[in-house]
Structure 1
Amino acid sequence: MSIIHFHLISLSVIVPLFNERESLPELVGQLYAALGENEMRTLFPAPFGFEIILVDDGSTDDSCALIGSMIAERPELRLISFQRNFGKTAALSAGFMAATGDYVCTIDADLQDDPFAIKEMIKKVQEGYDLVSGWKQQRKDPLSKTIPSKLFNTVTRLFTGITIHDFNCGLKVYRKEVTRRLELHGDMHRYIPVLAKWMGFRIAELPVSHRARKFGTTKYGSSRFFSGLFDFLSVLFITRYLRRPMHFFGMAGLISFFSGFIISLYITLDKILLNKPVSNRPILFLGILLLILGVQLFSTGLLGEMLSTSSSRGSSFAVRETLNLTAGQAKKFGAAD
């Protein structure tokens, strides 16, 4: 079996998937057509090579077996298979770790995104951007998905100041420097443009065509909205206070402690000057509560400062097997190739 020369890889395409067996043959065929040398020759001065990293997020429909059979004929394919379903964020993190190309593209496995848009997105990156996100202007999804998505995008734009329209589009192209520095947890894949912008990378948006789902059903239920809310709050904190948690907790603690001090001083003066009773006054308990809360918030800020200087990066997934990765790629996951 011939193996692609890894040093010639210009583009790594990452495909997170979960129970998409029916879509995979058509998707791989479209990717090979879109990434053909004739398509990409004008974008790269050196000989163009690519790899397609399929990250199986614990599928139960024999997707792994199908990918294994395709690798025999398509050596550019790679497989990373998880022990169980860890979520899209973990799948993207694994793909980023394995990617060796100068450019990295992510695309969903459900055939709703058009692989032929990758070329135009790479052109946009080469204009000087670090991340180009797709914008599904004419989305082919039911209202149960489009309305919450519009709400999500509006709120995210409002709070982050980033003026792109579709934060959660699965089709994105990055420079390798971006994916090397991204640290994703929970369901933070939705906020990749926010995290990239916070790190100082230049981001842009490009309209892309969107197609109706051809096989299967969506893998995201109503529970994603709650997890998305919690991750949104986490991202806001990370992008503003990750390296200075005392600025957040310290300010809140100062306001609480000062408010409690003013209330306690007022009660004390009432007792001294007007001889009013101190016990059985609800405001007394409020003052004590605010004083205690202020001290606790200060303590939390100090602990956060200490943790932020000693935190270590770890993986939030477990890999069962890998196929057709180089020794260096496989070593990153501690799995035999």
Structure 2
Amino acid sequence: MSNAEKFSVVLPVYNEQDNLQSLFAEIRAAADSTGRPWEAVFVDDCSTDRSLAIIRELAEQHSEVRYVAFAENRGQSAAFCAGFDAVESDIVVTMDADLQNDPSDIPDMLAAFGNECEMVIGWRARRRDTFIKRISSRIANKIRDSIVDDGVHDTGCSLKVMRTDLLRRIPRFKNMHRYFPILMKMEGARIHEVKVNHRQRGAGVSKYGTLDRALAGIWDLIGVKWLITRHIGYTVKEKK
């Protein structure tokens, strides 16, 4: 990857008004340190607080900021997809807007991205979640690995670097963001993991309950397993 190649940071947002200013300041410091052109694409998932107003202010004040605002709440996966469609670069960095992902990890992840991989995944070796969330994640990961083994330590970390063209080709469905590694692998992506910092949430509360995620995850696993077994892949030897 060229050091001058532009990258886009895609951030789904739902009721994160108290985190956005600090988050963007950290993203800007990390992105500027790379010496590469960049943009931040916020996708507001029909927030009911002042999130969209703050995003508009950031866009007016900083040329690097662009945004998409949904007319209705469509969920995190839809927000990611809207961001992928809106970016103006060949490299996408995804992260949450709750300050748990550390933007200072972005330069190292970009450095690992390039000729030998098409996807870099953050690995939260030291989680800062609640005890209940950590235990439920471990159980969910064991079940997922037994059905859909993507070969990575931490599929749930939102901090990832991916090729835009591959992201635009993967199947789209609710909760697809939890399966980016296996979906990208189906498109031929090679994956590299980088240990990253994980922080306690900034302001606000988590938008997704543990039970809700568990119930939805059962259907997701069935659907993703079906996609894997029915996936069509081929390599062209010759054409005219």
Q: 1:227 aligns with which of 193, 205, 216?
A: 216
Q: Which residue number corresponds to residue 60 of structure 1?
A: 48
Q: Are residue 40 (structure 1) and residue 29 (structure 2) matched? A: no
Using the TM superposition, give the Cα deviation of residue 216 of structure 1 relative to its aligned residue in structure 2, in angstroms: 0.8
Separation in structure 2 between the aligned mates of residue 203 and residue 153 of structure 1, nearest angstrom: 18
Using the TM superposition, give the Cα deviation of residue 135 of structure 1 relative to its aligned residue in structure 2, in angstroms: 0.9
Using the TM superposition, give the Cα deviation of residue 243 of structure 1 relative to its aligned residue in structure 2, in angstroms: 4.8
SS of 1:126's partner is coil
RMSD: 1.6
Deviations 1:123-148 (A, max 9, x none): 11125111111111111010221111
Give the fraction of aligned pairs with identical amino acids, expressed as a percent: 36
Q: Are residue 169 (structure 1) and residue 157 (structure 2) matched? A: yes
Q: Is 1:51–1:76's contact at 8 Å kept on the other side of the alignment? A: yes
Separation in structure 2 between the aligned mates of residue 243 and residue 72 of structure 1, nearest angstrom: 44
More helix by share: 1
Separation in structure 1 between the aligned mates of residue 139 and residue 166 of structure 2, nearest angstrom: 27
Q: Are residue 194 (structure 1) and residue 182 (structure 2) matched? A: yes
SS of 1:78's partner is strand
Q: Which residue number corresponds to residue 209 of structure 1?
A: 197
Mapping 1:73-88, distance limit 5 Å = 73-88=61-76
Mapping 1:99-248, distance limit 5 Å = 99-221=87-209, 222-243=211-232
Q: Are residue 22 (structure 1) and residue 18 (structure 2) matched? A: yes
Separation in structure 2 between the aligned mates of residue 76 and residue 196 of structure 1, nearest angstrom: 27
Q: Which residue number corresponds to residue 259 of structure 1?
A: none
Q: Which has the higher contact order (CA 8 A, sep 6+)?
A: 2
SS of 2:154's partner is coil
Q: Is 1:131–1:178's contact at 8 Å kept on the other side of the alignment? A: no
Using the TM superposition, give the Cα deviation of residue 161 of structure 1 relative to its aligned residue in structure 2, in angstroms: 3.1
Separation in structure 1 between the aligned mates of residue 132 and residue 206 of structure 2, nearest angstrom: 11
Q: Is 1:9–1:51's contact at 8 Å kept on the other side of the alignment? A: no
Using the TM superposition, give the Cα deviation of residue 150 of structure 1 relative to its aligned residue in structure 2, in angstroms: 1.3
Q: Which residue number corresponds to residue 237 of structure 2?
A: none
Q: Is 2:148–2:221's contact at 8 Å kept on the other side of the alignment? A: no
Q: Is 2:167–2:184's contact at 8 Å kept on the other side of the alignment? A: no
Number of positions where the alignment pairs a residue of Structure 1 with one of Structure 2: 229
Q: Is 1:13–1:106's contact at 8 Å kept on the other side of the alignment? A: yes
The gaps in structure 1 that reach 5 residues or longer are: 1-7, 42-47, 245-337
The gaps in structure 2 that reach 5 residues or longer are: 234-240
Look up the equivalent residue of 1:152 and give its one-letter code: A
